[in-house]
């Protein structure tokens, strides 16, 4: 397994269930978790609730086509979309790329062609795995890419896992937006992208976005993680 692939959550929007199932099975051997759906409308709903690290979609999606799907998703989230392009799909692929698709790949899919593209557009793995990080009732294990809050497992996409790891290793200290951009994104995203991912991380951890107690906003600077109180049921 390539370490850059481990823990990746991929949404596959594919109307052919057999194609989706076969692809999910092959990708699981590379540590990639797959959520499948059959049309563009359902893909938008799932992307909004599950926040995958990337989306793989065919240009010929039912209900909402490939280009319209890319345009709508990119207006709402920074999730990259890889487009599956078959014979005769050139004009549709060009439209989808203009709408914001990150890359194209030949359809029918070949895993050996798909993996390098996914590596190039998704966040890198955590740095060399070390010991688990514990902050009160919050625990993150870089080796297994797992997070537990008061012994309750929390499933996070890789980008949010990296963000949480950064905040936990600087617990009770302010992490600036520039530091987050440099370490988690390599210096590329807008300030709004950072804000969106912090909001998603708060939601997954059960932190109140209006009145957060776990990830505090330090206005004009960045964020500070306050370790949750260790309960009797926590480690």
Domain interval for residue 33? 9-121
Phi, psi of 193 (to 5 degrees): -60, -40
Same domain, 18 and 112: yes
Who has greater pLDDT, 20 or 232?
Answer: 20
On whether residue 139 sits in a domain, the answer given is: yes
Q: Number of structural domains, the chain?
A: 2
76: tokens are 């709402």
Per-residue model confidence as pLDDT tens digits over 5-46:
446 899 999 999 999 999 999 999 988 999 999 999 999 999
On whether residue 3 sits in a domain, the answer given is: no
Q: Are 54 and 118 in contact (CB under 8 A)?
A: yes
Q: How many CB atoms are located within 10 Å of the residue 26 CB?
A: 17
pTM of the model: 0.64
Same domain, 149 and 210: yes
3-state secondary structure the chain: CCCCCCCCEEEEECCCHHHHHHHHHHHHCCCCEEEEECCHHHHHHHHHHHCCCEEEEECCCCCCCHHHHHHHHHHHCCCCEEEEECCCCHHHHHHHHHHCCCEEEECCCCHHHHHHHHHHHCCCCCCCCCCCEEECCEEEECCCCEEEECCEEECCCHHHHHHHHHHHHCCCCEEEHHHHHHHHCCCCCCHHHHHHHHHHHHHHHCCCCCCCCCEEEECCCEEEECCCCCCCCCC
- pLDDT averaged over the chain? 87
pLDDT of residue 124 exceeding 50, the answer is yes
On whether residue 232 sits in a domain, the answer given is: no
Same domain, 103 and 137: no
* The last residue of a domain, from among 95, 121, 147: 121
Distance CA 154, CA 99 (A): 33
Peptide bond into 83 cis (omega under 30): no
On whether residue 159 sits in a domain, the answer given is: yes
On whether residue 103 sits in a domain, the answer given is: yes
Same domain, 36 and 110: yes
Per-residue pLDDT band for 93 (boundaries 50, 70, 90) equals: confident
CATH number at residue 203: 1.10.10.10
**Sheet with 222-225, side-by-side order of all strands:** 174-176, 222-225, 215-218
On whether residue 72 sits in a domain, the answer given is: yes
Average pLDDT over residues 70-94: 88
Per-residue model confidence as pLDDT tens digits over 30-41:
889 999 999 999
Same domain, 49 and 146: no
pLDDT of residue 186 exceeding 60, the answer is yes
Same domain, 15 and 110: yes
Who has greater pLDDT, 106 or 129?
Answer: 106
Q: Are 192 and 76 in contact (CB under 8 A)?
A: no
Same domain, 15 and 114: yes
pLDDT at 233 (0 to 100): 55
* The last residue of a domain, from among 121, 154, 172: 121
On whether residue 231 sits in a domain, the answer given is: no
Same domain, 190 and 157: yes
pLDDT at 183 (0 to 100): 84
CATH number at residue 57: 3.40.50.2300
pLDDT of residue 65 exceeding 70, the answer is yes
On whether residue 126 sits in a domain, the answer given is: no
């Amino acid at each position: 397994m390539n370490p850059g692939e481990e823990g990746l959550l991929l949404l596959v929007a594919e109307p052919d269930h057999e194609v989706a199932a076969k692809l999910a099975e092959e990708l699981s051997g590379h540590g990639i978790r797959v959520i499948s759906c059959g049309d563009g409308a359902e893909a938008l709903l799932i992307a909004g609730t599950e926040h995958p690290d990337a989306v793989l979609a065919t240009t010929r999606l039912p209900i909402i086509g490939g280009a319209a799907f890319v345009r709508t998703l990119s207006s709402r989230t920074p999730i990259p979309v890889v487009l599956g392009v078959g014979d005769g799909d050139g004009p549709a692929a060009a439209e989808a790329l203009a709408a914001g698709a990150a890359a194209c790949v030949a359809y029918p899919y070949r895993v050996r062609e798909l993996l390098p593209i996914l590596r190039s557009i998704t966040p890198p793995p955590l740095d060399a795995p070390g010991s688990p990080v514990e902050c009160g009732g919050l625990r993150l294990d870089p080796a297994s890419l797992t997070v537990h809050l008061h012994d309750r497992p929390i499933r996070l996409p890789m980008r949010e896992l990296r963000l949480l790891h950064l905040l936990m290793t600087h617990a009770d200290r302010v992490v600036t937006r520039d530091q987050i951009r440099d370490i988690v994104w390599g210096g590329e995203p807008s300030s709004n992208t950072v804000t969106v991912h912090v909001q998603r991380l708060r939601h997954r951890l059960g932190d109140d976005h209006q009145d957060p107690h776990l990830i505090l906003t330090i206005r004009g600077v960045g964020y500070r993680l306050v370790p949750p109180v260790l309960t009797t049921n926590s480690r």
